[in-house]
Amino acid sequence: MVTKKNWSYPDPKTTDPVEHRIQRFWEILPGFLTWLTLLGMFFFAWWKPVWAAVFIISYDLYWLYKTIYIASYSIMSYRKMRRWEKIDWLHRLKAIFKGKKILKELDEEIARLEKRIKEAPLFSKKRRELKQQLVERKNFRKRAEKDLRHRDKFLDWRKVYHVILLPNAIETAENIRPAIQAVLDSNYPKDKIIIVLAMEEREPEEKRKKKERILRREFGDKFFDFIVTVHKVKGKEMKCKASNTTYAAKKIKKYLEEKNIPLENVILSNLDCESRIHPQYLAALTYAYVTEPKRLQYAYQPLPMYHNNLWDTIAPVRIIVTGSSFWHMVEAMRPEHMVTFSSHSEPFKTIVDIGYWPVNVISEDSLVFWNAYNYFDGDYEVKPIYLPVSMDAVLGNNYWHTIKNQYKQNHRWAYGIENLPLLYRAMRKNKKIPFWTKVRHLFTMLEGHHSWATSSFILALLGWLPLILGGNKFNESILAHNLPFVTRYLMTIALVGLFVSMILSLFLMPARPRGHSRKKYLVMILQWVIAPIIAPFLGAAPAVHAQTRLMLKRYMGEFWVTEKIIKKPKSSR
Q: Which alpha helices (DSSP H) does 259-398 contain, by range?
A: 281-290, 315-332, 348-353, 364-375
| Predicted local distance difference test score (pLDDT) of residue 493 | 87
245 neighbors 169 (Cβ within 8 angstroms): no
Closest CA to 316 of 532, 491, 461: 532
The Cα–Cα gap between 348 and 355 comes to: 11
Query: How confident is the model over 4-63, as pLDDT tens digits?
Result: 888 999 999 999 999 999 999 999 999 999 999 999 999 999 999 999 999 999 999 999
Residues near 481 by beta carbon (within 8 Å), at least 6 away in sequence: none
Q: Tell me the chain's radius of gyration from C-alpha atoms.
A: 25
Tens-digit pLDDT profile for residues 146-159: 999 999 999 999 99
74, 87, 311, 515, 518 from 523: Cα distances, Å? 22, 33, 10, 15, 10
What pLDDT was estimated at residue 572? 42
CA–CA separation, 514 vs 75, rounded Å? 29
Q: What is the mean pLDDT of residues 408-415?
A: 96
DSSP notation for 137-158: HHHHHHHHHHHGGGGGG---GG
**Cα separation of 287 and 281, whole Å?**
10
Q: Is 229 helix (H, G, I), strand (E, B) or coil?
A: strand
Residue 456 pLDDT greater than 60, yes or no: yes
Average pLDDT over residues 451-461: 95
- Given a cut of 90, whether residue 251 has pLDDT beyond it is yes
For the domain 155-390, what is the CATH code?
Answer: 3.90.550.10
Which pLDDT tens digit goes with each residue over 159-182?
A: 999 999 999 999 999 999 999 999
**pLDDT > 90: percent of the chain:** 89
Between CA 138 and CA 109 the distance in angstroms is 10
The whole-angstrom separation of Cα 247 and Cα 237 is: 11
The pLDDT score that the predictor gives to residue 495 is 84
Mean pLDDT of the chain, nearest integer:
95
- Going by pLDDT thresholds of 50, 70 and 90, the confidence category of residue 274 is very high
Q: What is 507-566 written as a DSSP string?
A: HHPPPPPTT--TTHHHHHHHGGGGHHHHIIIIIIHHHHHHHHHHHTT----BPPPPP--P
At 481-537, the pLDDT tens digits run 899 889 989 888 888 888 898 999 999 999 999 889 999 999 999 999 999 999 999
For residue 498, what pLDDT is reported? 84
pLDDT confidence of residue 570: 58
Summarised one tens digit per residue, pLDDT across range 56-102 is: 999 999 999 999 999 999 999 999 999 999 999 999 999 999 999 99
- Give the pLDDT band (50/70/90) at residue 573: very low
Contact indicator for 323, 530 with CB cutoff of 8 Å: no
CA distance 440 to 442: 6
What distance in Å separates the CA atoms of residue 140 and residue 106, rounded to the nearest whole number?
A: 8
Q: Are 342 and 270 in contact, with CB atoms under 8 Å apart?
A: no
Q: Which residues contact residue 3 at a Cβ distance below 8 angstroms, ignoring those fewer than 6 apart?
A: 353
Task: Say whether 236 sits in a helix, a strand or coil.
Answer: coil
| Contact in structure between 78 and 507 (CB atoms under 8 Å) | yes
- For position 488, what pLDDT does the model report? 87
Q: How many residues comprise the chain?
A: 573
